[in-house]
Amino acid sequence: AQKITQTQPGMFVQEKEAVTLDCTYDTSDPSYGLFWYKQPSSGEMIFLIYQGSYDQQNATEGRYSLNFQKARKSANLVISASQLGDSAMYFCAMREPSGSARQLTFGSGTQLTVLP
Amino acid sequence: GAGVSQTPSNKVTEKGKYVELRCDPISGHTALYWYRQSLGQGPEFLIYFQGTGAADDSGLPNDRFFAVRPEGSVSTLKIQRTERGDSAVYLCASSKLAGAYNEQFFGPGTRLTVL
């Protein structure tokens, strides 16, 4: 079963508008971490934002916020005031501490295109 | 400070050849990860080092793949008898620790093409 599901292969947004990228996850661990990474065409993975499963408030980092709905097992990324430089691939990822490697498990990504 | 570096940035090889991919993590980071990213997919875990030892190699697809980190810093991913299906971007990441939360810093990746 997929641990991280991103159902939007591609999204378009007008510059200066807000956009929400969907992510649902599956885990039986009560303690886990959720991450969003941005991957521009250059290929490097850029960390954007983190949400811990026990965090009471939704995480925010500048124009990025995470809409964390624990009961629904969703962790959607909201980008406000989109900029042309936001055009990139966006990956949702999860870490479960019960795994020995504590590796990240990634979704298949969403390609975001910001239109001028 | 310097980020994670990977060399080479691109590697083209022929089927059946041996390749080595190098990762130089951020100084002081004890945890090191290798991931493989196929076209249009998210990265997939290959192997994890804590210090010098491979703490978890459960993601390695088969015994043609091997990785070392002899001094607890630089790591080398080795692929024997390469196959066309090995073509992908190989990403390395490092973090200070492998705790419940820690940000993994990724390198730019090595794009491997097997002809």
- pLDDT tens for B18-77 read 999 999 999 989 899 999 999 989 999 999 998 888 888 889 999 999 999 999 899 999
pLDDT band at A44 (very low <50, low <70, confident <90, very high): confident
CB contact under 8 A, B89 and A108: no
Q: Is pLDDT of A73 > 70?
A: yes
CB contact under 8 A, B101 and A52: yes
CB contact under 8 A, B43 and A91: yes
Q: Which of B55, B106, B107 sits opposite A100 (nearest CB)?
A: B55
What local confidence, expressed as pLDDT, does residue A106 receive? 95
CB contact under 8 A, A109 and B31: no
Those of residues 44-83 in A touching chain B at CB distance below 8 A are 44-47, 50, 52
Query: pLDDT higher for B2 or A90?
Result: A90
Half-sphere exposure of B22 (CA within 13 A, CB side): 7
In angstroms, the Cα distances linking B32 to B13, B26, B52, B55 are 25, 9, 10, 10
Name the closest residue on chain A to residue B108, using Cα atoms: A44
Q: Is pLDDT of B1 > 70?
A: no
Residues in A touching B40 (Cβ below 8 Å): 108-109
